[in-house]
Structure 1
């Protein structure tokens, strides 16, 4: 018998023994008015801590009980507590209950504890949105599963006003990108794993660890002030029942990657762990060619996409108080291929680069998450959360065509072959300890600390060229043509919070004031080592066919020992220390049964010190050292209003002032050479200040239906943006591009059940539902004119601001008893948007709008076995970057397709 069969046998034996000696209480909890299932309702045996919660179908199963008569207490957020007496339990015979709860009036306690409920379910998150004074939007684990969403980045891109820009990590919210976002994990900030970005890549958080993802676009004094577009908070999964043991597996294929030979870069093992080292030492001119990775790729057998997740949890008792423990671990690998072309141009429209490209990607992820939650007395809890995430992203790309800027030979159509291969290996370690403590009947304390560590490596990025002449491939020895690059980023991040809330309300009015302190102490250390390698004192090496090309034949230890190769080592680094101390005071007041107001003020002191070294000399001296410091005190007022027109209709309005700090790499003159573009920072950048206004109307059609319309306006002082000019080297640069920028728009969201049928006992359900959200955004900045550079056009959209974003889905669900099937069709679209603002005659660079279509089918074959089928990117659209020339012609600078993918998965709960 295999291990899986043995585990299943043990579980069955355990269940048989328990239920032979004890009785079982099972049942369903519903809304008394609508008959709808209530998810996350608590059922507790009076006088004990023994209990359970309802699942996604409103069903529950109590732990085995001894024979006898019991009283049960049933609780659910915004519903009246129901006491069920005289529940008789008999040995070996299940007791079946059907309990209907009546809605209750909201009170302060509900507002304070709503987040403690089961936030995996769509209805619970919609209820949270309805009760909240400040407008919030969230997507939970149930919706992630229904839409086939694999990570937090894909999750938030389904929220209104949010879109993903290809080639740029993280998302754009209301036309504003990474530097204006704030990313938190369970309310605590987490550092970025990439030196080019402020926020951690959201795709590091796989759906296996996500309870919900919240996107807050309206701001209050008690949240971080370094935000201009949204705070994205990832909430990790916690135990939702007495115990759980489940296994999920899935496999699939990308149709484009499965065609032909798949090429893999050297330096990463089969499990996705990179060979991390720093290359040969020996000062500026190394004494050996001791590189461990090959330059030539290998042909890999295509193994497809795969994912494995194991989760386990159990609720224990410590001093008669509940202690829940939950652990989940997983591995996933995703393989894809892109084919397309790259071009580049001068500011007069002359094309100097036109190359075809094939790119082979392998992305792997390992994760381990564990949390424990201990509760005692009323409203006291202490939680510990640990997370370890390892990701590896590797690609090999082959480009062929002409690039006169690279060769600089003077001919119009000099052709070349380029191999570029890159590995990014990242490790994130998170430790969080936080709790809520009732100090008195009126006073609550929320306190916590988080210690995070990030180690990010880019070991051995390899760039190699060959000159093409008469169909043959020959070496070309110009400086800068053949490089190996190693970098590592080490981040230490400690942040803490301390907040007191005093309840001043009574039975008729809710009123509370809060005050707190938060801090964040971050240290980033980045090292970059570049090796220039070129042949010297040797004849040109020629390959007759591309199939014969071998860069390992050209560059190796033997040629180095023979003096036929020049190797130069260039070492640069920067260090950024960031200290943020913030205090705030905030108040929540109920002025009438329908009118709620919050107001507060925050004070943030930010101190950033950047220490950059352009190059370490051969004797270890520091050449080109620069130090830059930013320190500023920000005063951040905010106010929010909520008015309930009636039970269904709610109006909200919020005003706030926030700021946007430049990113670490944007403040450093470090030069980064990307796959398509090169970037360089600017030491003179200043923080931007954001003045925000939000208005929103919500119509809660039912507990699962919503119609919402909102408008927003932002006035940004000293906006920061990326721009492209006709500079030497073709770098994309950063600046405060104007005095003010304006962002305004409207958002709409609809969740509607088009058809629903169920029998009287709700054992059979058939439902067709529609989800739709759409956003229109207007953005404009009047660009600065200065002696060094002048904008090509006087006004511009903001970087990443897509005027139109549409996300929609239509889902059909059929359920009968323990079996169910759900099918969803998802469509997403964003219109053309700015990638980089044009300067010095260079036209602005745009990303063409992209439609995507996915189909997801999932089913529950029994109470234990589930299946899923995902068909993603079915339209396989072209991703295009272009410039509009003065002649009216549109020039595509980059175009590629990612391919469609199909996967099948199984989930078994023991």
Structure 2
């Protein structure tokens, strides 16, 4: 009876207390960020211990005693606001508040007021609040998915794929020429003579805060755009001092299973070695040895990083961050197939068994210094150095129609390529009151890309009069069959961006409805390329000499040169020819100056528009001196008015409808305009001086929903119309070279993208156990006119298109990325384990357009599966494991449209990659 009375009394007390309570809910926003959410702000009841923090969407809910109360809103470095309110029991009242930064002195404080843009939830919040249509992927997500470089990072986003064996990406089926790359908003040069954009796989993710992909054009992007702009935002450390060391090891199953992994020994281990041209190259034989060294294909990595922050004066603060790393990797292709010169009835000109051995290195150093002078002024300096190298041996054994009809041919190519990238940037931001802000940035970048001493040798079996094998002999049907090739590329680029913001139309909520931005951006780029090839033409005295394929130095040496076994000549001729040693060169220059103005206005609480106009004037010249066309130049000027606008309609607080439209253009690249010949084993490329730019019209519409701070569901539809599209084609010539032409009057692309990120379930205190999943799927339809009469009118060569229309090269109809991840944290989140399974797929895509009665060359569909396990043993120690390319699919290219069906051109497997790493933070 007493127990019953006690329970009734307790229940009555609890119900009475609950009835005396009220609820306050609302959202806190950042005045300085134009009304964006302010996560982790404090909301408290004055004079009590009752308080809470806003979540990552800036929202809060607080139980408050009924009656007259004062609600206090605070955030470090921001003004404090107190709101008096009277609440009835059981009442729910909404109080939204706006906080702005102050200039109060804060001593011995290391917490920053800026948002951590490495976190997935923070980037989703920015995506929701942004007026522009963009996609961001941060360091947190990159680590969870085991991504080691930026190319693989962007390939995890919707509508993006990575070209096999390179750092080149396709955005919505649009290849290298349609995309652009920036770092912290400033353009950076290419490291590849054949590409407009730098290879994104040279950027390790440890230098990255986040990567932003703009698929919709805006004023701050140069007008040479149609697919997307990738902006690499470097780490900007703020917080307590730290020092971290990372160690790792990795293997490739193909490489470790190969008993004779062989490479040219001249480049060495580090990837920094320079190999110079020989002196007197046409009159003496003083070249590096040709023999291959056997390697143990076990690789690893080491990295160091650290940062700290210091107060300077009363309001200033300076931040330092630096990182350095070295990594290497062995890769091998065995049991591969390579075929070429396939005609329309399926006859194969070259059919080889293919092996490849590659050793790659990446050395990276980056430093960032940020100086916050006061609340209104800050500057940053970034410097980045990356050295990459690739030492590769490719071997082709089998049938060659022009030299080894008996199937005993051998072609061996040894290629060492070394790239230095040096980026320097200075950026500033200055506020003048609450209405005006000046932003500026300047950069100077250099790239040096060297291909010193690329070596090719060609052999076949020799026979005696009775048909008995004698051994291999050197093949010298054409001058270039056996050669040494030296290529040097230097590109320098100066770039600048200045913009001035002015806010207007202040509302009752203390927020400005409008903002005008006017600015200038410009860049001046110069590329110098120099190449020379020394051909070794076998003479009568050397034509019957038997050569060991593993000891070609026994034939190519100073003694045999003196005995007239072979002659050394360049592509221009022998030493008797004037200027025989004059290299092939071209110099490309591009100068762009642009003025832009943007008006952003919030027409209502739901509708916001951004309207922009960019005016560009540019000049592009290419001066060349090649053995195909000695001494010439191309030049074109362009003045472009580029209107663009984007609309955002907030259907609900967590749901947006967006629309974008723009006009842009696409420039031909320097090498595409220069009549410069570059030879692969089965294909030659030559530039076209008559190539000119395309004009593009782009439209997007997107619906997105953000159910929670770390969840998103979005659907996007897009379309593009391109005038005078540029394509890579096989021209009508005796050697069937590949070049570039404006292949028709029009091209178009349309498609749709679906993206889902979802927390499947979570449990435990503070969601210590969580299962999440992500999926993005894209469908793309492309079509373009192929007009050989147009090509003949505008160029000095002809193209015989098989079809009158075609899809775009590089465009897959279907793209998909999916991942599922489990996070389990314990010891107050000092320890955790985080396994992730990630899948990537692209459907068939055209490699080159069909000509001369043949169908297209097509890269077949590929699906890859990766498993990544990241763990924190404690606050300092972490251990990570990854198994990538678990499905080990066939990489296959076919020639379609022959009378016997599809003919395989390339077929190989890359093997599975395993890596194990550990990190320790002091």
Q: TM-score, normalised by structure 2?
A: 0.84
Give the Å deviation of 1:104: 5.5
Q: Residue 289 of structure 2 is aligned with which of 287, 290, 294?
A: 294
- CA deviation string 1:618-649 (max 9, x = no partner): xxxxx711110011111100010000011121
Give the Å deviation of 1:492: 1.0
Give the Å deviation of 1:116: 5.3
1:264 alignment partner in structure 2: 263
2:517 alignment partner in structure 1: 514
- SS of aligned partner of 1:504: strand
2:313 alignment partner in structure 1: 319
Separation (CA, whole Å) in 1 of partners of 2:38 and 2:361: 34
Separation (CA, whole Å) in 1 of partners of 2:813 and 2:394: 33
Partners of 2:783 and 2:808 within 8 A in 1:
yes
Give the Å deviation of 1:732: 1.5
Give the Å deviation of 1:184: 0.2
- SS of aligned partner of 1:349: coil
1:503 alignment partner in structure 2: 503
2:908 alignment partner in structure 1: 896
Q: Which runs of structure 2 are paired with 1:370-769 in the superposition (5 Å)?
A: 370-405=367-402, 407=403, 412-469=405-462, 471=469, 472-478=471-477, 479-507=479-507, 508=509, 509-543=512-546, 549-570=550-571, 571-615=583-627, 624-759=630-765, 762=766, 765-769=768-772
1:95 alignment partner in structure 2: none
Partners of 2:856 and 2:897 within 8 A in 1:
no
Partners of 1:404 and 1:414 within 8 A in 2:
no
Give the Å deviation of 1:103: 9.8
Give the Å deviation of 1:334: 1.1
Partners of 2:416 and 2:454 within 8 A in 1:
yes
Give the Å deviation of 1:415: 3.0
Give the Å deviation of 1:222: 2.8
CA pair 40-327 structure 1, distance change in 2 beyond 3 A: farther
Separation (CA, whole Å) in 2 of partners of 1:397 and 1:534: 22
Q: Which runs of structure 2 are paired with 1:64-83 in the superposition (5 Å)?
A: 74=75
Give the Å deviation of 1:81: 6.9
- SS of aligned partner of 2:309: strand
Separation (CA, whole Å) in 1 of partners of 2:351 and 2:277: 33
CA pair 413-54 structure 1, distance change in 2 beyond 3 A: farther
Q: Residue 366 of structure 2 is aligned with which of 355, 365, 369?
A: 369
Separation (CA, whole Å) in 2 of partners of 1:301 and 1:106: 62
Give the Å deviation of 1:192: 0.4
- SS of aligned partner of 2:127: helix
Q: Residue 785 of structure 1 is aligned with which of 767, 784, 788?
A: 788
- SS of aligned partner of 1:645: strand
CA pair 395-42 structure 1, distance change in 2 beyond 3 A: farther
Partners of 2:346 and 2:901 within 8 A in 1:
no
Separation (CA, whole Å) in 1 of partners of 2:547 and 2:275: 35
Partners of 2:621 and 2:634 within 8 A in 1:
yes
Partners of 1:222 and 1:586 within 8 A in 2:
no
Partners of 1:334 and 1:364 within 8 A in 2:
yes
List runs of 5+ in structure 2 lacking aligned partners. Answer: 1-23, 28-36, 43-52, 59-71, 83-93, 103-111, 463-467, 572-582, 793-797
Separation (CA, whole Å) in 2 of partners of 1:251 and 1:791: 49
Give the Å deviation of 1:168: 4.9
- CA deviation string 1:775-822 (max 9, x = no partner): 000000011122522310111010100000000001011111211111
Separation (CA, whole Å) in 1 of partners of 2:840 and 2:224: 29
- SS of aligned partner of 1:738: coil
Give the Å deviation of 1:107: 9.5
With 471-480 and 703-712 compared, the bigger mean Cα shift is at 471-480
CA RMSD of aligned residues (A): 2.8
Partners of 1:725 and 1:841 within 8 A in 2:
no
Q: Which runs of structure 2 are paired with 1:238-277 in the superposition (5 Å)?
A: 238-259=236-257, 260-277=259-276
Q: Structure 1 residue 834 and structure 2 residue 846: aligned?
A: yes
- SS of aligned partner of 1:838: coil
Give the Å deviation of 1:559: 1.6
CA pair 199-109 structure 1, distance change in 2 beyond 3 A: farther
Give the Å deviation of 1:889: 1.1
2:33 alignment partner in structure 1: none
Partners of 2:706 and 2:712 within 8 A in 1:
yes
Separation (CA, whole Å) in 2 of partners of 1:394 and 1:135: 41
- SS of aligned partner of 1:885: strand
- SS of aligned partner of 2:254: coil
Q: Structure 1 residue 338 and structure 2 residue 336: aligned?
A: no
- SS of aligned partner of 2:476: coil
Partners of 1:725 and 1:842 within 8 A in 2:
no
Give the Å deviation of 1:498: 1.1
CA pair 552-82 structure 1, distance change in 2 beyond 3 A: farther
- SS of aligned partner of 2:255: coil
Give the Å deviation of 1:169: 4.0
Partners of 1:315 and 1:323 within 8 A in 2:
yes
Give the Å deviation of 1:33: 9.2
Q: Which runs of 4+ in 1 moved over 6 A?
A: 31-34, 53-56, 80-83, 105-110
- SS of aligned partner of 2:126: helix
- SS of aligned partner of 2:707: strand
List runs of 5+ in structure 1 lacking aligned partners. Answer: 1-30, 44-52, 59-70, 84-101, 617-622
Separation (CA, whole Å) in 2 of partners of 1:892 and 1:831: 17
Give the Å deviation of 1:349: 2.2
With 270-279 and 815-824 compared, the bigger mean Cα shift is at 270-279
Separation (CA, whole Å) in 2 of partners of 1:272 and 1:700: 46
Give the Å deviation of 1:832: 0.2
Give the Å deviation of 1:391: 0.5
Partners of 2:26 and 2:96 within 8 A in 1:
no
- CA deviation string 1:16-40 (max 9, x = no partner): xxxxxxxxxxxxxxx9999xxx998
With 414-423 and 532-541 compared, the bigger mean Cα shift is at 532-541
1:18 alignment partner in structure 2: none
CA pair 853-391 structure 1, distance change in 2 beyond 3 A: same
Separation (CA, whole Å) in 2 of partners of 1:336 and 1:136: 35
Separation (CA, whole Å) in 1 of partners of 2:101 and 2:817: 35
1:348 alignment partner in structure 2: 345
1:799 alignment partner in structure 2: 809
- SS of aligned partner of 1:863: coil
Q: Structure 1 residue 906 and structure 2 residue 905: aligned?
A: no
Give the Å deviation of 1:661: 0.5
Q: TM-score, normalised by structure 1?
A: 0.86
Give the Å deviation of 1:277: 1.1
CA pair 104-297 structure 1, distance change in 2 beyond 3 A: farther
Give the Å deviation of 1:842: 2.9
CA pair 726-166 structure 1, distance change in 2 beyond 3 A: farther
